[in-house]
Structure 1
Amino acid sequence: MEAPDQGCISHDNLNFLLHRAAQKLGTAAQEASQAHGITPRGQLVLTALANAPERRTQLALGAALGLDKTTLTAELDRLERAGLVIREPDPTDRRVRFPAITETGRKVQTEVAHLHAAAEDTFTSGLTPDERDLLRTLLARLIAADTRPATGSCL
């Protein structure tokens, strides 16, 4: 077996560290989501629908999540086939759809949220509770301090 490239594992560059940490936590989230037949992006959509204070169009949902129309439509298609969401037509404009989470979708969303939290706890188990809180606080501050528009999806 070939030794790992030290140039790829010894970085202290912030971009590299954040990316690598996100990859590792993302893998854990993927495994947790797959246990219920969805993707982390599917969980993101279900969570947005479960927590929405009001009904949003598919277009508004995509904008809120940073998902383009094609990506969101494909994800909603998967979730709808699984019985986790329905898309209700707008009575005044047949081109507009309102995605809504089903009761089954709510149950799956809740269960996957617990699995994601457990995966996050495992991932951050080497940190003290204060360090976990500090990490969240610092990352939120970094994100808020950058005033450029967000690009790409939030997952």
Structure 2
Amino acid sequence: MEEQQLISACVEKWDFNWLLHRAAQRVGAAFADEIAKFGISLRGQLILQALANEEEVQRTQLKLGAMLGLDKTTLTSELDKLERLGLIMRVPDPKDRRVRTPVITDAGQELQKQAGDALAEVERGFHARFSAEEMTVIRKALSDLARGEGPMHGSCI
């Protein structure tokens, strides 16, 4: 009960940015707890999802990082972990040995599907708090805020 009173007091006092941040923390923690059951991180799942959805499109590490909003160091670290687990492999470009193209393996495809289904279930739990109409408004508002103007800083997760 005390925690609920504290949360209520904070929600009444704090601004829009604080509320968005706290909501993102709550959702992010639920997703992180679920994905940990699969032995990967949320960033790892994001990478696997991008690679699994790339029908015949081969993205270099550099292009993949730009697409996902992950800096080179973070992306390389995640790719190293995924490769050690046998979920991806990095194929050298025959034209330029410095360029590597991450490719998802069959094991990576399977894990990504299972993890994606589990995360979708977590998301459904959050959606259940709202009516369909409320979710439409929330999604539109968040999409509008995410598009915004000016440069984006930091990774997407």
Question: Same fold judged by TM-score > 0.5?
Answer: yes
Report what 1:46 is aligned to: 48
- Mapped to 1, the partners of 2:49 and 2:84 lie a distance apart of 18
- Mapped to 1, the partners of 2:114 and 2:14 lie a distance apart of 36
Kept in 1, the 8 Å contact 2:11–2:19? The answer is no
- Mapped to 2, the partners of 1:77 and 1:149 lie a distance apart of 28
- Mapped to 2, the partners of 1:61 and 1:88 lie a distance apart of 14
Q: How many aligned positions are there?
A: 153
Matching residue within 76, 96, 99 for 1:73: 76
- Segments of 4+ moved more than 4 angstroms: 2-9
1:124 aligns with 2:127: yes
TM-score (norm 1): 0.90
Kept in 2, the 8 Å contact 1:11–1:17? The answer is no
1:100 aligns with 2:103: yes
Backbone CA RMSD of aligned residues: 1.9
Kept in 2, the 8 Å contact 1:42–1:75? The answer is yes
How big is each residue's C-alpha offset from its partner over 1:46-68, in whole Å with a ceiling of 9 and x where there is no partner? 11111124101001111111111
CA separation of 1:5/1:118 partners in 2, compared to 1, >3 Å: closer, same or farther?
closer
- What residue ranges of structure 2 are gaps of 5+ in the alignment? none
Q: CA deviation at 1:125?
A: 2.0
CA separation of 1:95/1:26 partners in 2, compared to 1, >3 Å: closer, same or farther?
same
